[in-house]
Chain A
Amino acid sequence: MKRRQFLKSMTALTAASALPAPAIWSPAKAQSRQETLLLVTENGPNNLDIHGVGTNRPGYEASWNCYDRLITHGKKTLADGSLSYDRDKFVPELAEDMNVGDMSVTFKLKKNAQFQDGTPVTAKDVKWSFDRAVSVGGFPTVQMKAGTLLNKEQFVVVDDATFRVDFVKKDRLTIPDLAVIVPGIYNSQLLQKQATDKDPWGLEYTKSNPAGSGAYKVTSWKPGVEVVYERHDAWVGGKLPQLKKVIWRTIPSSGNRRALMERGDADISFDLPAKDFSEMKKEGKLKMISNPIGNGMYSLELNVVNPPFNNEKVRQAVAYAIPYQKIVDAAMFGIGNPLFGGKSNDVTMPVWPQPTGYSTDIAKAKALMAEAGAIDTTISFDLGDAVNSEPIAVLIQESLAQIGITTAINKVPGSNWRSEMAKKSMPMMVNFFSGWLDYPEYFFFWCYSGQNAIFNTPSYVNKDMDALIDGARAAAAVGDNAKYATDVKGFISKAYHDVPRVPLLQPYLNVATQANISGYSYWFHRQVDYRSIVKA
C-alpha cells in the first residue's frame, strides 16, 4: 500500500524534474534574441580597463570594444574566405584625418564624437589618455614604449580638435602602436572627478566602469559570470554595429560550451581547444573559423646561462631530437603551421615565423650529444595552458630520453608561471609567445634582445644579435628595405643556429559560430571585436 503511494510520488517527482524548456518565446523576447549576441568563453575579464593592474586577456576585449583609438586597422579577406585585420592598412577611428610629418604625426578629431555619457571628445582627452598610458606603469607603459612613445611631452594639444604626437626618434612601430588596445581615448573630465590622491588616473573607477567613446557600453558586469554590453548609438568610430546587445557568459567547462553551440543556444564560442575544433569541424554543423596566430609560436626554450643548455651542441641536439610532426598531430590535432623541416638554418626570406632547418633526426642528435654525456634536468610548462603544453612536454620528454637526456616534468600553476619566468631559472620549458605588432624585429626585441625582458626566458644575450635587431629597427624607420631584409635574415639565421629557443609550431585561433553569424574577424589582439559581427 505505502509502497504504491511512495512509487507514485516518485513518478511525479521524476516528471516534474523533466520539465521541457519553453519552445516558444514571447514576441518581445524573440525580437531581443534576434538583436542580441550570446558569446561564450572559458574565462571572463578581471578588469574592464587595459590600463589596470593585472588586467587579464579577456579584459583586453572589454577595452577594445568600449574605447576608441585615434586610428585602427582596415580589414582584408584571407585565402580561406575568413576576415582578418590588415596589418598595413590604417583607417581613422576617432580621428578623421592623420598627417604623418617627418618627426611628428598630426590628427584631426571627428567633430561629432562623444563619450558614452554624452561629453564631446576633445584633443585634451586624447592627451590625458596618452599621458595616462605612459604614466601608470606596468603593461600599458611598456606597450607604449614598444612604439617609442615614452613621455608626456610627446603629446601636444594643438587646438580642441587637433592633436599631435612628436617623435623622439624615427620608429616604424610608432604608428602601428597607436592602433593597439592601449592608446584608447578616455573621458578625462569624468575620470579626473573620480581620481584621488592615491589613484590620480582613476584606475579604480575604470576597473568596472568603462569611460570611453566606443561602440559598446557595459550595462552590467558580474566577475566570473557575465558582461552585458549595449550599443552606444551615438558612436562615430565606424559603421554603426548591427547588434544592440552582447551578452558574454563565462562557461568554464569546454564540454558545455560545445553543447551550447551544437544545441544552437550560444552564438559564438571563442578560442576553442584544438580537439573540440577538429571534432566539431568534422561534424559540420557550425561555421568553424581558424586563423594562424600572427607573430606567434610555441617553442621549447632552453636556459643558455646555466648547464646543461649553455652548451650550444646540446641545444642543437635537443632541436634534432624533438618529435615535431607527432606534436603537430597528437598535441594540436593537426591544427598548426610547422616551424621545422626547412631547407637550412640560413634563411633566405625576411619573414617571421618561418621553419628552422631542424627536423627529427635522432642519429644526428646522438652525435651532437657525444661529448656531453648523460643529462638529468626538468621540463616546465604553464598549467594554465595544459591543454596544449602538457602533451607537447610529454612527447618531448619521451623523445629526449632516446639521446640520454632524462627529464622530470614540472607543472607550474598559472599564477606562478610569470614569476617563474621572471626568475629565469627554469632549464627547459614549453612556452607560447605572440607579439601584437606583427613585425619580426618586434618579436626579437622581446625574446632575443640584450635588454633581457621577461619573455627572453633563455636569458640569451649576444652583442651580434643586438646589433642585427637594432640595425633592422633603424633600417625600417628610414625605409631602407635592403638593409632591413639583410638584418632580419641575419637575426633569424643567428637565432636558429644558436637555438636558445627551438620553434615548434605556429598555433591557430579557433572560433565556432552559428550559421547565421557573419562578420567575425581575426585581430592581432586575439579577442572578439563585436562591432563587425552581424546576426541574420
Chain B
Amino acid sequence: MLTNILRRLVTVIPTLIGVIIVTFLLTRVLPGDPAVYFAGPAATPESIADIRKSLGLDQSLPQQFLRYVDDLAHGNLGNSLATGRPVVTEIVSRLPASAELTLFGLIISMVIAIPLGILAAVKQGSWIDHTCRIVATAGVSLPVFFTGLLLVYVFYFLLGWAPAPLGRLDVFFTEPPHVTGFYLIDSLIAGEGETFMASLKQLILPGLTLGIFSLAPIARITRASMLAVLSSDFVRTARASGLSSYTVVITYAFRNAMLPVITTLGMVFSFLLGANVLVEKVFAWPGIGSFAVEALIASDFAPVQGFVLTMAVMYVALNLMIDFVYGVVDPRVRLEG
C-alpha cells in the first residue's frame, strides 16, 4: 500500500513542474506593467526604473524564473505588492475561509442532491424525478452572483432572517483563537457557542448559493449512476430474494453507484474552490479567490502565481485522495490495477 502511494506521488511531480512553468509564464504575459502601477501618480521614468529594479523585473526571463524557483524551494512565494505581506501568510490566512465556505456549500449540496438523485432514480418518471430535473437545471443555470444577490435580497433585505452580508463574522464578534482557521471548528474548540452560531449564520447564505450551483452535477450523476445499477442483475436478485427495499437501494445499489458520485464530488469541490470568487465578492468573504482577483487587477504577480500554484497542488492532492477513496469504497478498484 505504502509503495503504491509513493509510486502515485512520483507521478505527481511532472504535473507540478508543468504548473510552475505555466504559472510563471502566464503571469508574465499579463497586460500591465507592475512597476508603473506601483510607482503611483506623477511617477518619473527614473522612479519607475527604480521600482522595476527592486522588483527584479529588469532581469531576463530565465533569470527571473531561476530566482522564482529558488524562492519556491525555500518555501517563499514572494511578497504581495498590494498588501505588502508575504504571499504565504496571505494564502494561509485566507485559504481556511474559502475552504470552510466551499466545504459547507458542498455539504449542503450533498445533503440535498444525493437523496434527491436516489429518489429520482428509484421513482423514475414520478414528480420527484421531475423536481430533481427542475431543481438541477435551475441551479446550474443561475449564475452564482445572481443567486447570491437574490438570497441576500430576500433573506436579509426583505425578511431580515439572515445576518448582514459582512463576511465571516458580524463586526461585533471577535474571531475565535486560531487552531484550524475554520471558525465553526475553532469556536467549538474554544467553547464559544455564541461565536459558533454567529459564524454559522454568516455561512448559511453563501453556502446555500454555492450549494444550489453545485446541485446539478451531483444530483444528475447520482440519478444516472443509480439507474444503471438498479437495472442490473444483482439488484433484481436481491429484490427477488425478498430483501427490504431500503437494503436493496441503500446497501446494495447505492454503494455500487457511489464511484462516479465520488469522482463528481471531487471535481465539484475543486471547481467550487476556484469558482467561488464571485460568491466571495458578493458576501465580502475574505477568501483566497477575491484575493487573487484583486492581485490580478493590480498586476501583482506573486499572489497570482501563489494562488494558481496552491490551487494546482490542491487539485492534485484531491485527485490523489479520491483515488484512494475508490479503493475503500469498491475493493475491485485498487491502485495497482
Contacts and interface: CB of A to CB of B under 8 A. Distances in A.
Interface of A: 2-3, 6, 10, 13, 17-21, 25, 29, 32-33, 36, 38, 46-47, 52-55, 137-139, 142, 204, 207-208, 222-226, 247, 249-253, 255-256, 259-260, 262-263, 265-266, 413-416, 418-419, 422, 453-455
A222 B284 contact: no
Interface residues of B, number: 60
Interface in B10-53: 31-33, 36-43, 47, 50-51
Contacts of B246: 2
Contact of B83 (A2, A223, A265): A223
Contacts of B167: 225-226, 249
Contact of B153 (A6, A222, A259): A259
Nearest to A247: B171
Contacts of A260: 164-166
Contacts of B284: 225, 249-253, 256
Contacts of A251: 165-166, 284
Contact of B39 (A10, A29, A54, A256): A54
26 contacts: A2-B246, A10-B112, A13-B111, A17-B204, A17-B208, A19-B197, A21-B162, A21-B163, A52-B84, A54-B37, A138-B42, A138-B47, A139-B40, A139-B42, A142-B41, A223-B90, A224-B286, A224-B290, A249-B171, A263-B157, A263-B160, A265-B166, A266-B164, A418-B36, A418-B40, A453-B42
Interface string B265-287: 00000000000000001111010
Interface string B148-176: 01001101110011111111000110000
Contacts of B161: 18-21
A222 B298 contact: no
B286 A415 contact: no
B291 interface: yes
Interface of B: 31-33, 36-43, 47, 50-51, 81-85, 90, 111-112, 115, 119, 123, 128, 149, 152-153, 155-157, 160-167, 171-172, 197, 200-201, 204, 208, 245-246, 281-284, 286, 290-291, 294, 297-299
B286 A225 contact: yes
Contacts of B32: 413, 415-416, 419
Nearest to B167: A225
Given A32-B172, A137-B47, A454-B43, A6 B36 contact: no
B129 to A, nearest CB: 12
Contact of A54 (B38, B119, B155, B156): B38
Contacts of A47: 84
Given A53-B38, A225-B167, A249-B284, 12 more contacts: A2-B119, A52-B84, A207-B84, A223-B83, A223-B85, A251-B165, A252-B290, A255-B149, A259-B164, A260-B165, A263-B164, A418-B40
A252 B294 CA distance: 11
Contacts of B291: 224
B184 to A, nearest CB: 14
Contacts of B299: 415-416
A53 B51 contact: yes
B37 A415 contact: yes
Contacts of B36: 418-419, 422
Contacts of A17: 204, 208
A207 B42 CA distance: 20
Given A19-B201, A222-B286, A249-B284, A259 B40 contact: no
Nearest to A21: B163
A422 B43 contact: yes
B152 A259 contact: yes
A53 B40 contact: yes
A138 B197 CA distance: 48
Nearest to B81: A54
Nearest 6 CB-CB pairings of A with B: A419-B36, A223-B83, A54-B38, A142-B42, A225-B286, A265-B164
Contacts of A32: 172
A19 B159 CA distance: 11
Contacts of A13: 111-112
B119 A139 contact: no
B177 to A, nearest CB: 15
B290 A204 contact: no
Given A138-B43, A139-B42, A249-B167, A18 B155 contact: yes
A251 B156 CA distance: 15
B83 to A, nearest CB: 4
B101 to A, nearest CB: 14
Nearest to B148: A253
B39 A138 contact: yes
Contact of A414 (B85, B286, B297): B297
A226 B284 CA distance: 10
B167 to A, nearest CB: 6
Contacts of B155: 18
Contacts of A454: 41-43
Contacts of B160: 20-21, 263
Most chain A CB neighbours (cut-off 10 Å) among B43, B204, B284: B284
Contact of A259 (B83, B157, B172): B157
Report which residue of A55, A204, A247, A250 has the largest number of chain B beta carbons within 10 angstroms of its beta carbon: A250
B6 to A, nearest CB: 40
Instruction: Tell which of B82, B83, B163 has the most Cβ of chain A within 10 Å.
Output: B83
Contacts of B47: 137-138
B149 A253 contact: yes
B34 to A, nearest CB: 8
B119 A224 contact: no
Contacts of A259: 152-153, 156-157, 164-165
Contacts of A252: 281-282, 284, 290
